[in-house]
Amino acid sequence: MAQNRIETPWTLAWRRFRRHRMAIFSLGIIILLVALALSAPLLVRLGWIPDPNLQPEGPNLAASYFLPPGTPGHPLGTDELGRDVLSRLIYGGRISLLVGFTVALSSVLIGTLVGAIAGYFAGRAFLFFAGPASPTYRELLGRGGLAVVLLSLVGLGTALYLFYRTEPGTALLGFAGALLAAYLLNRLPGLGEKLARALWYGFSWALLLGFAGLIVDVARTLAEPGMARGDLSPIELAGYYLAHLGALALLAFGVVGRIALDVDVVISRIIDFMLSLPGLPILLVLSAFMRNPESALGKLTASLFGEAASVAIIILILVVFGWITTARIVRGLILSLREQEFTLAAQALGVSETRIVFRHLVPNAIAPIIVDATLQVGLAILVEAGLSFLGFGIQPPVATWGNMLTGAQDYIFYAPHLAIFPGLAILLTVLAFNYVGDGLRDALDPRSRV
């Protein structure tokens, strides 16, 4: 009998995935770990495992320290403070999985967005700046007349106000608001697109003015003490006048000039730069600064997240570096996808660019993105454990696999079980995610048929 069951790509992929025995086994392990992590508080309440931070009390404390695995009530033994290792392991798993999933999800979302924008708009320079006397702007004036002038002035005024009269936070919010306004204007029928551009150019004038002002400002502040003393070296004096000259030249250029920026070039340069940074040292620096309770950033994170501040910090830091790989992958995929016929068809039908990117291009790139996300979970867990191990990640008494190992290192010869279990936990979890990633890579590749 002919099969008339519909076979979607996903059922095919699932069938291929099932043949990858290690991947299925690993998926089982991940599900088990997630279930354990989610039910940890319940297990404590049921009395199946003790509280991870519960320290024994009573006269003979030493007898409950360093209990070997297999002791009744402590299947994996106790640590140097008599705390239950199994319970700490389960609670550590909560943190590891939370960090892993959150980091992977956020990095992949950001990376996909950035990569898709870079890939789709590559080679199409965006007119970032057009001076009031530039041909582009004069043409705009011819179409929109007074409305264009008014909106440009509104943009200029708002931007100048935001730069000079508000706090950085407010300015950022205001900037986002202005972008949104331009985007909404752009969607209006008729003159909408022209007006949005008018608003944007007004904004860009403010950027140029602000930049010219900054140059002069910096030069004056730097030269001021020397000028007052009257011992400015010739080079410094030359620099001082050069800065003024440069600012003037910039303003002159601003009247008639245009600056076109290729978003892809900008994003690619940023990615290149981030890749040239040495990873771990920068991570150490970042986490050290964020952890400092005296610093503004330390205060902010502490007030926002309270006890969980160190978890939030570690997630934030890992995302800062995590989005890059996804962005590179997605950019490359979109660059090739946008050249294919279905994109041309969508463009011919007049589908909006947002829709083309997110409904036509990104779904076609979803397989590598999913694989990348899976691998990122493993990587995030690995890096978190490493940072916590060095003492920069999540701080005790919150138990994580990394900081359990830090403590265990001192008793490695006396109580090796303290190191073995967290070490195995990290290895097993990362291995599971890597195998699932491998399995997904094979399963989601339409060229591999079953």
Neighbours of 431 (CB within 10 A): 14
Q: Which is nearer to other proteins, 348 or 413 (CB)?
A: 413
Q: Which is nearer to other proteins, 334 or 415 (CB)?
A: 415
List of residues contacting other proteins (CB under 8 A): 218, 221-222, 273, 276-282, 284-290, 292, 294-298, 378, 382, 385-386, 389-392, 405, 408-409, 412-413, 416, 419, 423, 426-427, 430-431, 434-435, 438
Q: Which is nearer to other proteins, 174 or 423 (CB)?
A: 423
Rounded to a whole number of angstroms, the minimum distance from the CB of residue 279 to other proteins is 6
Rounded to a whole number of angstroms, the minimum distance from the CB of residue 275 to other proteins is 9
Q: Which is nearer to other proteins, 205 or 392 (CB)?
A: 392
Rounded to a whole number of angstroms, the minimum distance from the CB of residue 82 to other proteins is 22
Q: Which is nearer to other proteins, 154 or 274 (CB)?
A: 274
Q: Which is nearer to other proteins, 316 or 419 (CB)?
A: 419
Q: Which is nearer to other proteins, 47 or 281 (CB)?
A: 281
Task: Give the residue carrying structure tokens 């002038």.
Answer: 149
Rounded to a whole number of angstroms, the minimum distance from the CB of residue 237 to other proteins is 15
Rounded to a whole number of angstroms, the minimum distance from the CB of residue 234 to other proteins is 16
Cα 182 to the center of its chain, rounded Å: 25
Rounded to a whole number of angstroms, the minimum distance from the CB of residue 338 to other proteins is 25
Rounded to a whole number of angstroms, the minimum distance from the CB of residue 359 to other proteins is 32
Rounded to a whole number of angstroms, the minimum distance from the CB of residue 325 to other proteins is 12
Cα 197 to the center of its chain, rounded Å: 30
Q: Which is nearer to other proteins, 34 or 390 (CB)?
A: 390
Rounded to a whole number of angstroms, the minimum distance from the CB of residue 438 to other proteins is 7
Q: Which is nearer to other proteins, 62 or 296 (CB)?
A: 296
